[in-house]
Amino acid sequence: MVVKVGIVGLGRLGKIHAENLSKKIYNCELIAATSIVDEELNWAQKELGVKYLYHDFDEMIANDEVDAIFIVSPSSFHPDQVVKALNKNKHVFSEKPLGLSVEDIQEILPVINSSSNKFMLGFMRRFDDSYRYAKEKVDAGEIGDITLIRCYSIDPSDGMKSFVNFAKNSNSGGIFSDMSIHDIDVIRWFLNSEDSGVNRVWSLGNNVAYPVLNDLNELETGAAMLQLTDDKIGMLVAGRNAAHGYHVETEIIGTKGTLRIAATPEKNLVQVMNSSGVVRPTSQNFPERFQQAFMSEEQYFIDAISNDTEIEIKAEDGLYATQVAIALQESYDSNEIINIKGGQ
């Protein structure tokens, strides 16, 4: 079965999904795209050969040739577009977050869970080879019981100017919802949590290199402590100003050992030795670091449709991750510890 796909949103991440779906994913054909930007639609037609081009999302999902929708639009549009697509009998892949508030997500959960169509949320780190290998080791008990998980997610500094321009016109949801949400999901995944997995949080933040973000209600750097279930500890650092490149790192400390994923964010196995010393090039952006993970999650979704198999990532995963991210923002805003009742 060839799954015919439509995509909404052709920004940086949308273009990555679109190129993969049109050129690299088996049993998939990208036939439709929606954007309010004519240049993006022209790109989709010229570079990818997309047949149907729309300015209106409702028109795209009314196309009976389209089997599945990839939602890569601004975060605030996700809840409404998910519901509309499911109600038009489409399978739906939505990028994170599922919504910018717990209430928005709770409102659409019944629609998602009652639909006979497939739904998947884009937590792509679960599909990264290194993270999957680490998960296998943890599940096999090779580091014993987890005591602490530390996660870094820091964007490269060369993207700061474009982010400042973005923040002047759009709402990212805050650094914890925008960047830490992947780390929150990773923590829940490694702990096999059935709820949020977090009892209470405390967070801090600052704007040192780019104080202009103070006026935009955004953060350059955020940090947080999380009390997890069974008194385990979580530590998060989210940032937008890594001089060396794109830095995503996870450390899992157990009673019998420790795992580190990408302790040095290396581009590959090459070392450059010259008059400056020994240099290991680093990944410069998320498309480079997680290229394989994006393709793996896309293929997983298409295969689930073709083979009618269950999707591991549930809408509730998006709910719980967002719940924690919002609590982190509340903690920063109030400078208080925020309790998450019963980890739910």
Domain-located, residue 304? no
215 and 278 part of one domain? yes
Domain-located, residue 311? no
For the chain, the domain total comes to: 2
Say if residues 290 and 126 touch (Cβ distance below 8 Å).
no
Per-residue model confidence (pLDDT) at position 343: 53
Name the phi and psi angles at 174, rounded to 5: 95, 160
Burial class (CB in 10 A: 0-12, 13-18, 19+), 275: exposed
135 and 228 part of one domain? yes
Domain-located, residue 43? yes
Beta-bridged to residue 54, according to DSSP, are: 34
Range(s) of the domain holding residue 8:
3-117
62 and 178 part of one domain? no
Instruction: Read off the amino acid at residue 193.
Output: S
111 and 233 part of one domain? no
283 and 151 part of one domain? yes
211 and 332 part of one domain? yes
Per-residue model confidence (pLDDT) at position 287: 75
The CATH number covering residue 16 comes to 3.40.50.720
> 10 Å Cβ neighbour count for 272?
10
Domain-located, residue 41? yes
Q: Are strands 198-206 and 338-339 parallel, antiparallel or unpaired?
A: antiparallel
Beta-bridged to residue 249, according to DSSP, are: 152
Domain-located, residue 100? yes
Q: How far apart are CA 270 and CA 301, in angstroms?
A: 33
Instruction: Read off the amino acid at residue 150.
Output: R
The CATH number covering residue 131 comes to 3.30.360.10
Query: Of 95, 117, 139, which closes a domain?
Result: 117
Per-residue model confidence (pLDDT) at position 344: 54
13 and 158 part of one domain? no
142 and 266 part of one domain? yes
**Exposure string for 7-36, b = 16+ CB within 10 A, e = fewer:** bbbbeeebbbbbbbbbeebeebbbbbbbbe
176 and 105 part of one domain? no
156 and 53 part of one domain? no
Block means of pLDDT (10 residues each) for the chain, 344 residues, are 97 96 98 98 98 99 99 95 99 95 96 98 97 98 98 93 84 88 97 94 97 94 96 97 92 98 79 83 82 97 98 97 96 97 57
Query: Of 117, 135, 160, which closes a domain?
Result: 117
256 and 149 part of one domain? yes
Beta-bridged to residue 120, according to DSSP, are: 93
Query: Of 99, 117, 135, which closes a domain?
Result: 117
Cis peptide before 287 (omega within 30 of 0): no
